[in-house]
C-alpha cells in the first residue's frame, strides 16, 4: 500500500475508474466541463457523505482548507460552492445511478455466503419504500400532499449482506405496488413484502416466473380454505392452510391455490397472517422469512442516520437524485472495502474512522483495523449497526 496516499485516495482506489468514465461518456457528462468534471463532482459529494457535511458552503470551506492535498486526492478542478451547485444541477443523475449499480454488482458476490437469519438455500430479497420529506416551496416538483413535498426511495434489498439490488426514486405519490412492474424477477428466489404490495395480478407474475413470495395479507381479502395442515402451536404458528381466492376479481387475477400461514408473535402480542406460493417449506420457516423483512426497515433507518439523504445540497430533481445515488454508492463502497479487508467492524464504526482519517497519509488497513482503543468507538445502546457479526 502506498503510504504516501491519503486514506481518501486509498479508499477511492477501490472504485472501478474505467467503469465510471464509461457511465460519464454514456450520458455525455463531461461534454461541457467548465473546469469541473463529473469525477470532481463525485469526489466532492463523496467527501460530504463520508465527513457529514451539512451544506455546499461547508464542503467548500473544508476542502479549501486542505487545498494542498486535493490534487493527490484526485481532484483536478477548482473547488467552489457555485461550481459544485452547477454540477449537481446539470450533470445527469443517471451517471451516478449506473455507477452505483456497478458497485452493487461488485459487492453482492462478496456477501453471497453471509447468513440471512433463516435456514434457506435460495436468495432472499426484502422489498419496501421509505419517504423522504421535502419542503414543497423549495421542491415544487416533488408534490406529495396539498402542503407537503416528498420523494420515495423504493428498494429491493438482498439480505445476503443487506446490499440494495434495485432502487427507484419517485415522487411521494407513486404507490408502492406499482414498483412490482419494474422488478426483474429471479427464478427460485424468495421475495418478502408488506401488505402494501398485495396485488394478486402482479403477485401471480412471481408464480409464473418460478419465484416465491411471502406477503402479509389484509383482513378484507376473501379466501376459501381447502385444506388445513397440522401445526405445532408452541412455535407460534396458529394455522397452516391451503386456500383459494373466493372473490371473482381476485380469483381471475390469481387462479392458483395459495398458502395461508397464521403466526402469533408473543413479543408484540400481534397475530400476523401471511400468504405465500410456496407449499414445501415448514410454516415456521415462512414466518421467519417474513421476520427478515425488518432488515429493509433497518437499512432505511441506517442510511438516514449516517448518510446525507435528508438535507439536500440542491433543490432540483436532478440534484436530489444525484445526492441519493452517490450516498448509495458510498454505502456500497464501504461495504466492499469492509469485505475485501476482512474487517469485523460494523459499517458505522468504519464510517466514523474514515470521517476522522480521510486526510491522513497512513495505510488504510492500519487505520481501519481494530485496536485496543476500539472501545472508544462503541455506539450508544440505541445506535443502529448493520453488518454487526
Q: Which of 5-9, 69-73, 264-268, 366-370 has the lowest mean pLDDT?
A: 69-73
What value does the mean pLDDT of the chain take?
90
What ranges do the domains of the chain cover?
7-96+319-377
For 282, counting Cβ atoms within 10 Å of its Cβ (0-12 exposed, 13-18 middle, 19+ buried), the class is middle
Q: Which of 27-36, 47-56, 135-144 has the lowest mean pLDDT?
A: 27-36
Model pLDDT, residue 145: 85
Please give the helix or strand (H or E) that residue 203 lies within, else none.
helix 200-208
Please give the helix or strand (H or E) that residue 244 lies within, else none.
strand 237-245
Three-state DSSP class for 156?
A: strand
- pTM tops 0.75, yes or no: yes
pLDDT surpassing 70 at residue 327: yes
Per-residue pLDDT tens digits for 160-187: 999 999 999 999 999 999 999 999 999 9
Model pLDDT, residue 78: 80
Instruction: Give CA–CA dist 298/296, Å, rounded.
Output: 5
The answer to whether the beta carbons of residues 117 and 292 sit under 8 Å apart is yes
Model pLDDT, residue 33: 66
Model pLDDT, residue 373: 52
Mean pLDDT over 301-326 rounds to: 93
The answer to whether the beta carbons of residues 346 and 387 sit under 8 Å apart is yes
Mean pLDDT over 349-358 rounds to: 92
pLDDT surpassing 70 at residue 198: yes
23: pLDDT confidence band, cut at 50, 70 and 90?
very high
Give percent of the chain with pLDDT exceeding 70: 94
Amino acid at each position: 500500500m502506498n503510504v504516501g496516499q491519503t486514506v481518501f485516495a486509498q479508499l477511492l482506489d477501490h472504485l472501478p475508474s474505467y467503469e465510471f468514465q464509461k457511465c460519464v461518456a454514456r450520458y455525455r457528462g463531461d461534454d461541457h466541463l467548465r473546469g469541473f468534471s463529473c469525477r470532481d463532482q463525485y469526489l466532492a459529494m463523496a467527501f460530504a457523505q463520508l465527513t457529514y457535511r451539512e451544506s455546499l458552503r461547508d464542503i467548500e470551506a473544508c476542502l479549501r482548507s486542505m487545498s494542498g492535498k486535493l490534487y493527490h486526492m484526485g481532484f483536478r478542478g477548482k473547488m467552489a460552492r457555485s461550481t459544485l451547485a452547477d454540477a449537481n444541477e446539470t450533470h445527469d443523475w443517471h451517471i451516478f445511478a449506473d455507477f452505483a449499480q456497478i458497485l452493487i454488482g461488485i459487492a453482492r458476490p462478496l456477501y453471497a455466503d453471509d447468513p440471512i437469519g433463516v435456514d434457506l438455500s435460495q436468495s432472499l430479497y426484502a422489498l419496501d419504500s421509505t419517504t423522504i420529506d421535502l419542503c414543497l416551496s423549495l421542491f415544487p416538483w416533488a408534490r406529495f400532499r396539498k402542503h407537503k413535498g416528498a420523494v420515495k426511495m423504493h428498494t429491493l434489498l438482498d439480505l445476503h449482506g443487506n446490499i440494495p439490488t434495485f432502487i427507484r426514486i419517485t415522487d411521494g405519490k407513486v404507490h408502492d405496488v406499482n414498483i412490482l412492474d419494474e422488478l426483474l424477477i429471479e427464478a427460485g428466489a424468495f421475495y418478502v413484502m408488506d401488505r402494501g404490495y398485495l396485488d394478486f395480478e402482479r403477485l401471480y407474475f412471481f408464480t409464473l416466473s418460478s419465484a416465491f413470495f411471502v406477503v402479509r395479507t389484509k383482513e378484507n381479502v376473501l379466501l376459501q380454505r381447502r385444506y388445513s395442515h397440522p401445526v405445532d402451536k408452541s412455535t407460534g404458528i396458529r394455522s397452516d392452510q391451503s386456500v383459494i381466492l373466493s372473490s371473482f376479481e381476485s380469483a381471475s387475477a390469481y387462479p392458483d391455490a395459495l398458502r395461508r400461514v397464521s403466526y402469533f408473535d408473543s413479543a408484540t402480542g400481534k397475530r400476523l397472517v401471511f400468504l405465500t406460493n410456496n407449499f414445501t417449506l415448514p410454516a415456521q420457516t415462512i414466518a421467519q422469512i417474513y421476520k427478515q423483512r425488518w432488515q429493509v426497515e433497518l437499512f432505511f433507518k441506517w442510511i438516514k442516520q449516517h448518510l446525507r439523504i435528508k438535507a439536500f445540497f440542491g433543490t432540483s430533481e436532478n440534484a436530489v437524485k444525484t445526492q441519493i445515488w452517490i450516498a448509495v454508492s458510498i454505502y456500497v463502497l464501504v461495504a466492499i472495502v469492509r469485505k475485501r479487508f476482512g474487517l469485523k467492524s460494523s459499517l458505522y464504526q468504519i464510517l466514523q474512522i474514515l470521517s476522522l482519517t480521510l486526510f491522513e497519509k497512513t495505510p488504510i488497513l492500519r487505520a481501519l483495523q481494530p485496536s485496543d482503543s476500539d472501545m472508544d468507538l462503541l455506539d450508544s445502546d440505541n445506535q443502529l449497526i448493520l453488518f454487526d457479526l
